[in-house]
Structure 1
Amino acid sequence: MTSEHVDVLIVGAGISGIGAAAQLGMKLPDKAYLVLESRQASGGTWDLFRYPGIRSDSDMFTFGYKWHPWPSDQSLADGHMILDYLRTIAKEYGVEDKIRYGHKVTKADWDSDAQQWTVVAATDEGEKTFTANFLWSCSGYYDYDEGHQPVFPGVEDFEGTFIHPQFWPEDLDYGGKKVVVIGSGATAVTLVPAMADQVEHITMLQRTPTYVFSRPGRDPLAKGLGAALGLVPRFVPFKGLREKAGFEAIRWANIGVLVGSYKLARRRPKLVKKVIRDGVIEHLTARPGQPGLTKEEAIRYADEHFNPPYNPWDQRLCAVPDGDLFRAIRHGKASVVTDKIKRIVADGIELESGKKLDADIIISATGLKVRFFGGVEVHVDGKPVRVQDTMAYKGVLLSGVPNLAFTVGYTNASWTLKVDLVCEYVTNLLAEMAAHGYTEVVVERDPSVAASPFMDMEAGYLLRAQELMPRKGDRGPWQVRQSYLYDMKVLSADIRDSKELQFS
């Protein structure tokens, strides 16, 4: 079996992989690279998910790459806009020509004698092998082939349509139907308002409430600067100096809001909880001449259905553009029920409270299933690597595994903020190795550093997968803080001063 050799092999052609490839091509143009993508299209999440209303739940001025400004004032963007943005960048930076579609990486083995990786990919034509000096995993951390699906008693008795939003049927007709969405996360709060105008009624059934807040769909600062600079919100890159300066101002304003609100929530959770609650009540209360709840009804509704038993940012908050979820509730097209499922029956869901929800369609928006490194079997000199036995160095490298980097974004902020920092770090690391003729870099775990879960947010999908991910440390470069400002400092430090890195 013949092998194709490159300097850098990137796994995954989603937002992380496209960003990595573009940055590698710009900063190290002499490095030969390929991107292996298991699916037949680029875009990752934004191509996979096709459910109604799919959109970002982070502002696009931080979710877009900092080196290629998001070209619109629309802050929470629709999925197709994000996909267009990514694919435009892939073409503009020459990444598209380096992507090998239908290549599902199954195994990667580092050979210390040869100083290279041998990577096996499954394709329609059979297995193909590649060799690479450096391996960069950009496949995210969830399973594209399978979502998290709890077992609901009686689901086999349901006579309607039961679906998981990760596998949305293209021909699903929900017009005039009674729909129940199980879940209360970002997918659920997106689906409900997107479907509300076409269904008979849609219900969001949740076991536990989530913090939901409204934010403008179009960024006020971007809108104002766009008007001042004579820009219009359309899909073209910002080319002039004024436009780029304006984008940086908008980007840092949004970073400030992200960082500030997160810190405030951790330090004064009761205050943030009150602010979110007051916003929910305001959005549920009827406007003059419009349908809605009375103030008293809105208070009761908020306290029953939007009042989680945990503090803000113990789990991820959900943003809804221009209060669209609350508007659907005010207009009577949508409702929220907080209860537990007793069993699913032929025509709906029986609840533990004794109530029943009639349904023609049940959507199980019950979350993701984590699969770190895309399920790739990693070996070093023929010995299997248990990822959970490694410790992450700066959230980028794995202890004991040479010439391998991985990209995992933030859980409490825009994913791509971390992507950009990782890209800068890895390209700087590769440049340092090239400058000194190094062929291997490895970081060895410090046995005195105490280990803890890589992601300590209390989200269900992360708690279920703690044993599938590497560890993080309790200090120094082994920490993973979920902090952009911290990572800016840590990942921009001079690589030559990193005593943990061993070059050869």
Structure 2
Amino acid sequence: MRTTTHAAQAGGEPLDVLIVGAGLSGIGAAATLRRRCPDKRFGILEARSAIGGTWDLFRYPGIRSDSDMYTLGYAFRPWTDPQAIADGPAIRAYVADTAREYGIEPHIRFGHKVTKASWSSAEALWTVTAALAGGGERVLRTRFLYLCSGYYSYDEAYRPRFEGEAAFRGRIVHPQFWPGDLDYGGKRVVVVGSGATAVTLVPAMTERAAHVTMLQRSPSYVVSRPAQDRFARRMQRWLPQGLAYAVARWRLIAESIFLYRLARGRPALVKRHLVAQAQRQAGPGVDAAVHFSPSYKPWDQRVCLVPDGDLFQVLRTGRAEIVTDHIARFTERGILLASGRELEADLVVLATGLSLKVLGGAAIEVDGSPLDPAQAMSYKGMMLGDVPNCAMTFGYTNASWTLKADLTAGYVCRLLSWMDRRGLAIAVPRRDRAVASRPFLGFTSGYVQRASRLLPKQGARKPWQVYQNYVMDLLTIRFGRIDDGVMHFGAKGCLP
């Protein structure tokens, strides 16, 4: 896969697996192939110039995980850093170290943005076209296509426009495109947003800014967790490293499943607890009933995590404040709110969310017919009905992304090995049109609702359901039958 700056032709020996994306999911997929299918020839195409995906792209102050690293880390490679809630550079280093440990780096081709993938049943091959960062394109062929490019656009973010922005004399930035030269020391900062990015930015920016205001249109649930997991640290002292990691990981998995089910089954009780906890931690100067009590039920949207209550600490000390109101318009000096109050600012950070992208934005064809992902149905949350030899990584919304990514990688290896033993070339989940369709995600978050017309569907019964439950997926994906009556198999030239 030598990089060229001109259009290359599809020729030569095809790869066994082509992975798209060199982030947390892609590197994990490649490492799993190395471990479980060492004879497979694989390559990785990465649009950017570095390993890390999300954790290399985002460089805003305080960037960190929004879940614990014992479950966000790979199952096969223990997370050993004391910080359970890790910062972006530490996660990026973890991904890069994994790539080095498993000899993955030579297989990555940077500056290759996949624009098209076409399946041929006659050849039992995908032909993949990638635009090169230096101009031109590259064409490769692969027996299996593995999409690990995430679910949002790296090139654009959700960025609403507000009346009067041109009059504002300060600076407006979006966290996804954080300027390297931005100096906010001694400045008055307004962070617009209420999600994971906003609750990360506010305490981080108070270290240098004169004052930081978190301006939210509506509240989110915010929960404090220790930055270091004491149970995990004890296990590391008492048990071998691998066993300690597994015990800590399973404890956190069980805890998250229990708390999620409790929240969905007793939403009013859980809401009261979360709001009361926020009130205790934020102190009497903050009205949690106004600023931390959303109108939706817990886990209708993702619950925001703050390590060691850092957001509550800066609110309690007055280094930051939280305002729940609507933006009427920008002014020369800041932002005029619907209530009539004006927030003066030198810098406005629009932490307004992501712009979702399905299948990395690539155009997909199956035997000459274009695929509309929104009309497709997801098989076990990792393949698409009637699309052969293709898997996609899509993690959990109520738990760590990597839990599902690990299961998907393991399944791909199981599937490829199962086919090899039987001399088969094609695997395709055949959609049953009698299965009623449902939205792929049940979240009410803005970024999910904005992308509802792009996302595939899930079905009303297995194996078309998308479980937000690791144990159910573990039973279905790791221990379920490969030949389950829905997955069909064939030889080259014969699409089953």
Normalised TM-score (structure 2): 0.95
Tell me if 1:33 matches 2:38.
no
Per-residue deviation, 1:195: 0.6
Deviation at 1:112, TM superposition (A): 1.2
- 2:377 matched to 1:377? no
SS at match of 2:394: coil
The answer on 1:89 being equivalent to 2:89 is no
1:302 aligns with 288
Q: Shift of residue 494 of structure 1? A: 4.0
Matched, 1:43 2:67: no
1:496: Cα distance to partner? 4.0
Give the counterpart of 1:455 among 437, 441, 460: 441
Relative to structure 1, is the Cα distance of residues 496 and 333 closer, same or farther in structure 2, using a 3 angstrom cutoff?
closer
Distance in 2 of aligned mates of 1:219 and 1:46: 22
**Partner residue, 1:214:** 224
Distance 1:25 1:258, change over 3 A: same
CA distance in 2, matches of 1:180, 1:197: 14
Q: 2:143 aligns with which of 133, 147, 166?
A: 133
Q: CA, structure 1 residues 255+494, in 2 after alignment: closer, same or farther (shift >3 Å)? A: closer
Tell me which amino acid in the other structure corresponds to 2:487: L
3-state SS in 2 of match to 1:426: helix
Query: Where does residue 17 of structure 2 map in the other structure?
Result: 8
Q: Give the AA of the match of 2:210.
A: E
Residue by residue, what CA displacement relative to the aligned partner does 1:6-34 show, whole Å, maximum 9, x if unpaired? 11100000111001011011111111000
Please list the CA deviations of residues 188-208 of structure 1 after superposition, one character each: whole Å capped at 9, or x if unmatched. Answer: 000000011211110010001
Q: Which residue of structure 1 lines up, in the alignment, with residue 264 of structure 2?
A: 266
Aligned residues: 480
Aligned with residue 326 of structure 1, among 291, 312, 330: 312
C-alpha displacement at 1:125, in angstroms? 4.1
Q: Deviations over 1:79-98 (max 9, x none)?
A: 10000100000010011111
Structural mapping, 1:237-248, within 5 Å: 242-248=240-246
1:157 equivalent to 2:167? Answer: yes
Separation in 1 of the partners of 2:234 and 2:161?
A: 49
C-alpha separation in 2, matches of 1:447 and 1:373: 23
Q: Among 291, 308, 326, which residue is 1:340 paired with?
A: 326
Match of residue 473 from structure 2: 487
The amino acid of 1:39's aligned partner reads: R
1:276 to 250, 271, 274: 274
CA distance in 2, matches of 1:92, 1:379: 35
What's the CA shift string for 1:447-490, capped at 9, x where partnerless?
11100111111111001101111110001100002111110111
User: Could you tell me which residue of structure 2 aligns to residue 290 of structure 1?
Assistant: none
Amino acid of the residue matched to residue 474 of structure 1? Answer: A
- Aligned-pair CA distance for 1:72: 2.0
AA of the residue aligned to 2:45: L
Distance 2:218 2:472 in 1: 32
Tell me whether 1:24 sits opposite 2:22 in the alignment.
no
Distance 2:207 2:317 in 1: 10
Match of 2:248 in 1: 250
1:348-387, aligned counterparts within 5 Å?
Answer: 348-387=334-373
Distance of aligned partners of 1:367 and 1:496 in 2 relative to their CA distance in 1, 3 Å threshold = closer
What's the CA shift for 1:247?
1.3
**2:332 is matched by which residue type in structure 1?**
A
TM-fit CA distance, 1:495: 3.3
Deviations 1:211-264 (Å, cap 9, x if unpaired)? 0011000001122233x34xxxxxxxxxxx722111111111111111111000
Q: 2:482 and 2:289 mapped to 1: Cα distance? A: 54
Q: What's the counterpart of residue 58 of structure 1? A: 67
The one-character-per-residue Cα deviations of 1:56-115 (angstroms, maximum 9, x if unpaired) are 010000000011011123111011000010000001001111100000000000011111
Q: Which residue of 1 aligns with 2:182?
A: 172
Once residues 151 and 374 of structure 1 are traced to their aligned partners in structure 2, the CA distance between those partners, rounded to angstroms, is 25
Question: Residue 327 of structure 2 contacts residue 335 of structure 2 at CA under 8 Å; is this kept in 1?
Answer: yes
The aligned residue for residue 154 of structure 2 is 144
Tell me the secondary structure at the aligned position of residue 155 of structure 2.
coil
Residues 108-162 of structure 1: per-residue CA shift (max 9 Å, x gap): 0001111101000010141110000010000011000000011211112211110
Q: Structure 1: where are the runs of 5+ without partners?
A: 230-240, 286-292
Contact persistence 2:235–2:247 (CA under 8 A): no
Q: CA–CA distance in 2 between the matches of 1:112 and 1:443?
A: 14
Query: What letter is aligned with 1:246?
Result: A
Q: Does 1:195 align with 2:205?
A: yes
Give the Cα separation in 2 of the matches to 1:358 and 1:270.
Answer: 37
Counterpart of 1:69 in structure 2 is 78
Aligned partner of 1:43: which letter?
Answer: G
Taking the aligned partners of 1:496 and 1:245, their CA distance within structure 2 comes to 29
Q: Any idea what SS the aligned residue of 1:357 has?
A: strand
The answer on whether the counterparts of 1:417 and 1:484 sit within 8 Å (CA) in structure 2 is yes
Q: Which moved more, 1:270-279 or 1:20-29?
A: 270-279
Q: Would you say the 8 A contact 2:118–2:367 is kept in 1?
A: yes
Q: 1:413-458, CA deviations, whole angstroms, 9 ceiling, x for partnerless residues?
A: 0000001110111110111111111111111111111001111111
In 1, the alpha carbon distance for the partners of 2:483 and 2:361 equals 33
Assess if the C-alpha contact under 8 Å between 1:73 and 1:222 holds in 2.
no
Matched with 2:380 is 394
Q: Which amino acid aligns with 2:30?
A: A
Once residues 244 and 117 of structure 1 are traced to their aligned partners in structure 2, the CA distance between those partners, rounded to angstroms, is 38
- How far apart are the structure 2 equivalents of 1:112 and 1:345? 59
Give the secondary-structure state (helix, strand or coil) at the position aligned to 2:131.
Answer: strand
- Letter of the structure 2 residue corresponding to residue 44 of structure 1: G
Secondary structure of 1:468's match? coil
Q: d(CA) in 2 for partners of 1:313 and 1:494?
A: 28
| 1:336 Cα offset (Å) | 0.5
- Report SS of the residue matched to 2:453: helix
* Identity, % of aligned positions: 50
The residue type paired with residue 458 of structure 2 is K
Q: Are 2:299 and 1:313 aligned? A: yes
2:233 aligns with 223
TM-score by length of 1: 0.94
Partner Cα separation in structure 2 for residue 433 and residue 188 of structure 1: 47
- 1:204 and 1:501 map into 2 onto residues whose CA distance is 49
**Counterpart residue type for residue 172 of structure 1:** L
Q: Which residue of 2 aligns with 1:466?
A: 452
What residue number does 1:238 align with? none
Distance (whole Å) between structure 2 residues aligned to residue 495 and residue 102 of structure 1: 38
d(CA) in 2 for partners of 1:47 and 1:178?
A: 27
Distance 2:385 2:18 in 1: 20
